[in-house]
Amino acid sequence: GAVVSQHPSRVICKSGTSVKIECRSLDFQATTMFWYRQFPKQSLMLMATSNEGSKATYEQGVEKDKFLINHASLTLSTLTVTSAHPEDSSFYICSAPAGTTDEQYFGPGTRLTVT
Amino acid sequence: GQQVMQIPQYQHVQEGEDFTTYCNSSTTLSNIQWYKQRPGGHPVFLIQLVKSGEVKKQKRLTFQFGEAKKNSSLHITATQTTDVGTYFCAGPIPDKLIFGTGTRLQVFP
């Protein structure tokens, strides 16, 4: 099956700093990738849709200036959490559609802790 | 608000017992997908249902899509400890995959 990687898997940063998370499709091209956030014991909440060659589409309530998304190529999307606060601590997961179905392949996720 | 709800939120069963999670959408779905997330892991695709009333089986797992294409269920027969995890349904609303609230399954040996 298709493989999606994320880096880093875990990151701890101080309040006010920025953190960049990378999402790569390893064996297929993805013109679209999705970024989700998951708080402990909760469901995945879609944050934004990353589009290669154009601006990302953000879900209602997600600050685009705080969560910067760049879809640099057909295999790479990045999410930068700017001026991080402790409430941004969460599990961030990216996904990309692959195959002929609407199935999503998920990256392993990045656990962000802001101190 | 959450457009795809699942019940129950938690289920604890003894190994060998059956388990069912129910998924309800506020809107008609073109398809329904099911994912499993192990503790500490990421969601893994299980199956997709497209047709009204469709039933699919994967070994001990039975998936059903409602006639109105607004609800679905996942039934596990004779649970095993390897079934532990959170089961999510998800549907395209309208073109973005929206996840259900999830059902966390714990299986005691």
Tell the burial category of A7 from Cβ atoms under 10 Å away from its Cβ (0-12, 13-18, 19+). middle
Q: Which of A23-32, A80-89, B18-27 has the lowest mean pLDDT?
A: A23-32
Per-chain mean pLDDT for chain B: 95
pLDDT-derived band at B2 (thresholds 50, 70, 90) equals: low
B87-100 burial by CB neighbour count: b if 16+ within 10 A, else e? bbbbbebeeebbbb
CB-CB contact of B34 with B54 (8 Å):
no
Q: What is the mean pLDDT of chain A?
A: 93
Residues of A in contact with B89 (CB under 8 A): none
pLDDT computed for residue A112 by the predictor: 97
What pLDDT score was predicted for residue A98? 74
Residue contact B48–A103, C-beta within 8 A: yes
**Over residues A35-52, mean pLDDT:** 94
Band the pLDDT of B95: cuts 50, 70, 90: confident
Cβ B102–A43 below 8 Å, yes or no? yes
Instruction: Read off the pLDDT of residues A74-112 as tens digits, 9 standing for 90 and up.
Output: 999 999 999 999 999 999 999 998 766 678 899 999 999
Between B92 and A8, the higher pLDDT residue: A8
Nearest CA to CA, how far is A40 from chain B (Å)? 10
In chain B, the residue whose alpha carbon lies closest to the alpha carbon of A95 is B43
**Using a CB-CB distance cutoff of 8 angstroms, which residues of chain A are in contact with residue B65?**
none
Q: How confident is the model at residue A8 (pLDDT cuts 50, 70, 90)?
A: very high
CB-based contact A106 B42, cutoff 8 Å: yes
Instruction: Give DSSP secondary structure letters for chain A.
Output: ---EEEE-SEEEE-TT--EEEEEEESSS--SEEEEEEE-TTS--EEEEEEETTS--EEPTT--TTTEEEEEEETTEEEEEE-S--GGG-EEEEEEEE-SSSS-EEEP--EEEEE-
Q: What are A's interface residues with B at a Cβ cutoff of 8 A?
A: 34, 36, 41-46, 49, 93, 95, 101-109
Q: Which pLDDT value is given to residue A57?
A: 94
Residues of chain A neighbouring B41 (CB-CB closer than 8 A): 108-109
Of A105-114, B28-37, B94-103, minimum mean pLDDT range: B94-103
pLDDT at B96: 84
Q: Do A107 and B42 touch (CB under 8 A)?
A: yes
Provide, rounded to the nearest whole percent, the portion of chain B with pLDDT above 70: 98
Give tens-digit pLDDT for B50-69: 999 999 999 999 999 999 99
